[in-house]
């Protein structure tokens, strides 16, 4: 299995999701707007989701972010 390398922004985004489970993606990335643009931050969040490090759920209007709690939840998302 390949090793996932995260830089400091990715780690801080993942920590923000863990501190605010169920928060909207815009709420998570807002503190980082001085570091990167919104589109870059949204793409990084999408990459964290695709790597299985966070879970994202689309609602009618927002994208909600949740931390991955255990391996069972991670496997369920892959199905």
Does position 79 have pLDDT exceeding 60, yes or no?
A: no
Does position 72 have pLDDT exceeding 70, yes or no?
A: no
Residue 27 belongs to a domain with what CATH number?
A: 1.10.10.10
Half-sphere exposure of 35 (CA within 13 A, CB side): 13
How far is Cα 50 from Cα 33, in angstroms, rounded to an integer? 22
Mean pLDDT of 53-66: 94
| Domain assignment present for 23 | yes
Q: What is the dihedral of CA 24, 72, 78, 65, to 10 degrees?
A: 0
Q: Are 28 and 50 in contact (CB under 8 A)?
A: no
| Domain assignment present for 26 | yes
Does position 1 have pLDDT exceeding 80, yes or no?
A: no
* Block residue for tokens 């695709």: 50
Domain range enclosing 55: 8-78
Domain count, the chain: 1
- Indicate the pTM of the whole model: 0.80
> What would you report as the CA-atom Rg of the chain, rounded to the nearest whole angstrom?
12
């Amino acid at each position: 299995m390949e090793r996932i390398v995260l830089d400091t922004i990715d780690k801080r985004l993942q920590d923000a999701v863990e501190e605010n489970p169920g928060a909207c993606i815009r709420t998570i990335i807002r503190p980082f707007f001085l570091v990167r643009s919104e589109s870059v931050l949204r793409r990084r969040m999408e990459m964290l989701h695709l790597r299985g490090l966070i879970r994202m759920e689309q609602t009618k209007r927002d994208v909600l972010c949740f931390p991955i709690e255990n391996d069972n939840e991670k496997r369920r998302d892959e199905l």
